[in-house]
Structure 1
C-alpha cells in the first residue's frame, strides 16, 4: 500500500491524529526544532502511582514543563531573583539571577507554543510561534521603553540583530564547516533569499530618515519631514512583515517547512488549556524578570565595571535566546544548515522588521524621542545605523 492509500486508510478509520502529527512535524519552524535539542523525555512512572487524578495530571504537566528540559537546573534562579528583590539584596545579584532565570523560560515558551500548535493547526501554531519567538527581547524592550531607558531599548534590539546575524550565523557556519570538512553543506536558497531581502529592506528603511536629515542643506529645518518619512517607513516595514508572515504560513509554506523525518511520531504531551495556562504564567514571569533586568542594569554596570551598551548588546541577547542559539549551532554540526539559517536570519528579520518599528512610543512621557508618532520635539534620535 502506498503512502497516499495508507493515509486515506487512517482517515477512514478515524485515526487522524497521526496525520496531524506528521503535518505539524513538517510545519515546524527552525526555532522550534533548534530548541527541541535541549528537551528530554520524562518518565511517566514517577507520577503514575498518585491516586488522585487531578493531582496526578498536575504533577505530570509539572514534570513535562519544568523537568522536560536540560536547562531545568537554571529554574532555581527565578525564586532566588524574586527573593533577592524582596529582601533588598545587592542589585547586581538581582540582575544576574534574573538573566539566568530568563534562559530556561525562553526555551519553555517555544515548547509550549509547539504544544498549542498540535491543537490549533500548523498555521495558527506558526503564527503564535512567530509572535512568541523573541518574547524575551520584546518584553525587555517594552520595559525599557516604559522606564524611559532609551539607550537600553536601542542597544538590546540592536544586539538581538547582531547576535543572530554575526554570532549565531557565524558560529554555525564555522562549526558546521569544521565538523563536515569532507562534505558539502547545502541550504535552501529560496528561504535564505527571502530573509536576506527583508533584512535589506529593513536596513533601507532605517537608513532613509537618517540620510534624509544629513542630505538637507544647512539651515533648513527638516525635523517634520524626517518625522513623516520615518512614519512612512515604519508602515512599509510593518506591512512587509505581515506579508512575510502570510507568505511563510499560508501561500508558500512549503519553502519554510523542514524536510527532516522523525523516527517516532510527535504528539502533544500536555493538554491545550494546560499549555495555554503555562504559557500565560511563564510570560508573566518573563515580564517580572525583565523588569528586574531593566531596573538593575545600571547598578550591575557600575558594580562589574562593564558599560551598559556592552551588557545590552552582548549579554542580554545571548542569555535571552541561549537555547535557540545553541540548537542552531548543534544543527550546523549535524550538517543541517537550513535550520541554522532559519534560526539566525528568521529571528533577525523579526526584530528588524517588526520589533524595532513596533516599539515607536505612543505616550507623552517619551516626548524626547525624535521619531515619535505623537511628538514633534527631538533630542534623542532612534536610529540604528548611527549606533553602528
Structure 2
C-alpha cells in the first residue's frame, strides 16, 4: 500500500468520530473539523472506485464516468450548502476550486516534479485547448456580473434566467470537450492515459465491478452525511475559528473536496508524468467551470434558491488572474520548479487577499 493510500485509510477513523461529535454535540468547531477530515478519505475512495469501474467499463464509458464523477465530492458539498441557502458560500467554492486547481495543484506538481527533474514536458496543444476553454469559463462568469453592473434595476429573476441560459450553453460546451478528448482527438490524451494504466493501475485482471460499485455508493452516501454535518456547523464554526464565509468557501472547502485529486496530480508529477498531472489539474478546473457550476445554477433554479452566475467582483478578478498566469506558464508545454513556485506564490497572495478581504471592505 502506498503512503498516500495508507494516510487516507487511517483518516477513515474520523468518519465515526465526526458522527459522535455531531450527535453528542461536541460543538460546531469540533463537528466542522472532524467532518472536514472525514471527507478526505471518502473522496479518495470515491475516486478509486470510479477508476476501478472505468477499467471494466472501457475507455469511452470509463472516460465519461471519470468526467462525470471527477468532482462529485465538491458537487455534493455544494448541493447541500445550496439547499441550506448558503448561496454565497457555493459561489465562493466554485471560484476557489478553479483557483486551487490552476495554482495550488499545478504549482505543487511543477515544484515537486521540478525538484526531481530539471525540466518536464507535456502536450502544448492540449494546454492551448484547455486555455481557450478556461477563457470561455471566465467570460461566462464575467458577463452576468457585467450585465448586473451596467443595468439599472435588473431583478433577481431576470439574472437567474440569464444564468440558466448561460449554464445550458456551458454544459453543451462541456459535452463537446468530452467528444474532443475521448473521440475526435483522443490521441492527444493517449500518452498520459497509457502511462497511468501501465505505471499506476497495473491490473493483472479486471476488478470486481459490483464490489467497486458498492464502495462508490457507500462512499457517496457517507460524503453526503458528512457534508450535512459540515454545512450545518459551517457558519458557527467559521465564526469561532475567526474565518469569513468568503475565505472558507474559496480556500477551505475546495481543499477538502479536492484533496484526493491534489495528491494524485502531485504523485504522478514526481514520477515525471507531467502530461497526466496537468490533465488532472486543468481538467478538474474545466469540469468545475463548465459542468459543476452550471449544474448548481440549474439545481438552484429547481430548489428555488437564487443561485446565478453573478459573482463577487473580487472573486472574478481572482479567477481571471489565476487563468492568466496558469495559461502563461503552461503555454509552452514545459515546466520547472521555478514556474511551480510562481503559481504557488500567486495562490498564497490570493489566499491572503481573501483572508483580509473583510478588513479591506470595512476600510473602503
TM over 0.5: yes
Find the residue that maps to 1:321 and give its secondary structure.
Answer: helix
Aligned to 2:310: 382
The answer on 1:135 being equivalent to 2:101 is no
Alignment match of 1:347 (pick from 281, 284, 296)? 284
8 Å CA contact retained: 1:206, 1:384: no
Shift of 1:147: 0.6
The answer on 1:171 being equivalent to 2:99 is no
Find the residue that maps to 1:76 and give its secondary structure.
Answer: helix
Aligned to 1:255: 188
Task: Summarize the Cα distance change of 1:134–1:364 in structure 2 as closer, same or farther, 3 Å threshold.
Answer: closer
Shift of 1:87: 1.6
Find the residue that maps to 1:359 and give its secondary structure.
Answer: helix
Give unmatched runs, 5+ long, in structure 2.
317-364
Aligned to 1:273: 210
Find the residue that maps to 1:328 and give its secondary structure.
Answer: helix
**Structure with the greater relative contact order (CA < 8 A, sep ≥ 6): 1 or 2?**
2
Structural mapping, 1:116-127, within 5 Å = 116-127=53-64
Aligned to 2:344: none
The answer on 1:296 being equivalent to 2:233 is yes
Task: Summarize the Cα distance change of 1:133–1:220 in structure 2 as closer, same or farther, 3 Å threshold.
Answer: closer
Q: Which has the larger radius of gyration?
A: 1
8 Å CA contact retained: 1:144, 1:153: yes
Instruction: Report Cα offsets for 1:341-384 as digits up to 9, x if no partner.
Output: 11110000000111111111124642x45x4xxxxxxxxx7325
8 Å CA contact retained: 2:93, 2:254: yes
Cα distance in 1, alignment partners of residues 122 and 236 from structure 2: 44
Cα distance in 2, alignment partners of residues 357 and 231 from structure 1: 7
Cα distance in 1, alignment partners of residues 205 and 243 from structure 2: 44
Shift of 1:268: 5.1
Alignment match of 2:148 (pick from 197, 210, 213)? 213
Find the residue that maps to 2:53 and give its secondary structure.
Answer: helix
8 Å CA contact retained: 2:41, 2:260: yes
Cα distance in 2, alignment partners of residues 323 and 159 from structure 1: 16
Task: Summarize the Cα distance change of 1:225–1:300 in structure 2 as closer, same or farther, 3 Å threshold.
Answer: closer
Shift of 1:274: 1.4
Query: Aligned Cα RMSD in Å?
Result: 2.5
TM-score where L is the length of structure 1: 0.73
Task: Summarize the Cα distance change of 1:364–1:123 in structure 2 as closer, same or farther, 3 Å threshold.
Answer: closer
TM-score where L is the length of structure 2: 0.78
Give unmatched runs, 5+ long, in structure 1.
1-35, 40-68, 372-380
Cα distance in 1, alignment partners of residues 303 and 253 from structure 2: 28
Cα distance in 2, alignment partners of residues 95 and 225 from structure 1: 36
Structural mapping, 1:152-191, within 5 Å = 152-181=89-118, 184-191=119-126
Task: Summarize the Cα distance change of 1:269–1:316 in structure 2 as closer, same or farther, 3 Å threshold.
Answer: farther
Structural mapping, 1:99-110, within 5 Å = 99-110=36-47
Aligned to 2:4: 38
Find the residue that maps to 1:262 and give its secondary structure.
Answer: helix
Aligned to 1:246: 179
Cα distance in 1, alignment partners of residues 87 and 156 from structure 2: 19
